[in-house]
Amino acid sequence: MSDQVWPWPAGAATGIGSLPGTDIAEAQRIVLGELPALPHLPELPARGPGADMIGRGAGLLVELPVELYAARWRVALRPGRDLRRARDLMERDLDQLAEQAEEYAGPIKVQAPGPFTLAASVELPVGGRMVRDPGAVRDLAGSLAEGLRAHVAAVARRVPRASVLLQVDEPSLPAVLAGRVPTESGFGTYRAVQPGDAGALLATVIEAVGVPTVVHCCAPDVPLHLIRSTGAVGVALALDLVTDLDALGEAIDAGLGLLAGAAPGTASAGRAPTSAQVADRVRTLWDRLGFPRRRLAEQVVVTPACGLAGAPPAHARAVLSACRDAGRRLAEE
Q: Which helix (H) or strand (E) holds 290?
A: none
Task: Single out the residue in 232, 259, 291 at which a domain terminates.
Answer: 232
Regarding whether 322 and 285 lie in a shared domain, the answer is yes
**Residues 129 and 181 sit within 8 Å (Cβ to Cβ):** yes
Regarding whether 185 and 65 lie in a shared domain, the answer is yes
DSSP class of 260? E
**Residues 175 and 193 sit within 8 Å (Cβ to Cβ):** no
* 11 found inside a domain: no
Structural domain range at position 158: 48-232
Regarding whether 276 and 228 lie in a shared domain, the answer is no
Regarding whether 263 and 218 lie in a shared domain, the answer is no
Residue 268: the pLDDT is 65
Regarding whether 286 and 200 lie in a shared domain, the answer is no
**pLDDT tens track, the chain, 333 positions:** 457 899 999 999 999 999 999 999 999 999 999 999 999 999 999 999 999 999 999 999 999 999 999 889 999 999 999 999 999 999 999 999 999 999 999 999 999 999 999 999 999 998 899 999 999 999 999 999 999 999 999 999 999 999 999 999 999 999 999 999 999 887 899 999 999 999 999 999 999 999 999 999 999 899 999 999 999 999 999 999 999 999 999 999 999 999 999 998 776 656 889 999 999 999 999 999 999 999 999 999 999 999 999 999 999 999 999 999 999 999 998
Tell which residue, 167, 173, 232, 172, has the closest CA to residue 197: 173
Regarding whether 123 and 88 lie in a shared domain, the answer is yes
Residue 4: the pLDDT is 87
Please give the tally of structural domains in the chain.
2
Q: Is the torsion defined by CA of 321, 326, 327, 328 positive or negative?
A: positive
Regarding whether 306 and 170 lie in a shared domain, the answer is no
* 249 found inside a domain: yes
C-alpha distances in Å from residue 277, one per residue of 39, 273, 323: 22, 6, 10
Regarding whether 198 and 63 lie in a shared domain, the answer is yes
Residue 333: the pLDDT is 85
**Residues 320 and 33 sit within 8 Å (Cβ to Cβ):** no
* 53 found inside a domain: yes
In angstroms, the first-to-last Cα distance of the chain is 19
Residues ≥6 apart with Cβ < 8 Å to 260: 237, 239, 281, 282, 285, 300, 301, 302, 303
**CA separation for the pair 196, 203 (Å, rounded):** 10
Regarding whether 311 and 221 lie in a shared domain, the answer is no
* 19 found inside a domain: no
Residue 195: the pLDDT is 97
C-alpha distances in Å from residue 132, one per residue of 129, 183, 189, 193, 205: 6, 9, 9, 9, 20
**CA separation for the pair 237, 260 (Å, rounded):** 6
**Residues 216 and 170 sit within 8 Å (Cβ to Cβ):** yes
Task: Single out the residue in 180, 205, 232 at which a domain terminates.
Answer: 232
Q: Is the torsion defined by CA of 246, 244, 114, 233 positive or negative?
A: negative
The DSSP code sequence of 160-229 is TTEEEEEEEE-TTHHHHHHT-PBPTTSS-BPPPPPHHHHHHHHHHHHHHH-S-EEEE--SSS--HHHHHT
Regarding whether 268 and 162 lie in a shared domain, the answer is no
* 22 found inside a domain: no
Residue 149: the pLDDT is 98
**Residues 53 and 45 sit within 8 Å (Cβ to Cβ):** yes
Task: Single out the residue in 203, 232, 261 at which a domain terminates.
Answer: 232
Tell which residue, 178, 184, 66, 168, has the closest CA to residue 117: 168
* 38 found inside a domain: no
Tell which residue, 131, 114, 236, has the closest CA to residue 169: 114
**CA separation for the pair 263, 294 (Å, rounded):** 22
**Residues 151 and 172 sit within 8 Å (Cβ to Cβ):** no
* 7 found inside a domain: no
Regarding whether 332 and 188 lie in a shared domain, the answer is no
Regarding whether 292 and 176 lie in a shared domain, the answer is no
- What backbone phi and psi angles, to 5 degrees, belong to 50? 100, -20
- Surface-to-core class of residue 109, CB atoms within 10 Å of its CB (0-12 exposed, 13-18 middle, 19+ buried): buried
* 9 found inside a domain: no
**CA separation for the pair 21, 65 (Å, rounded):** 27
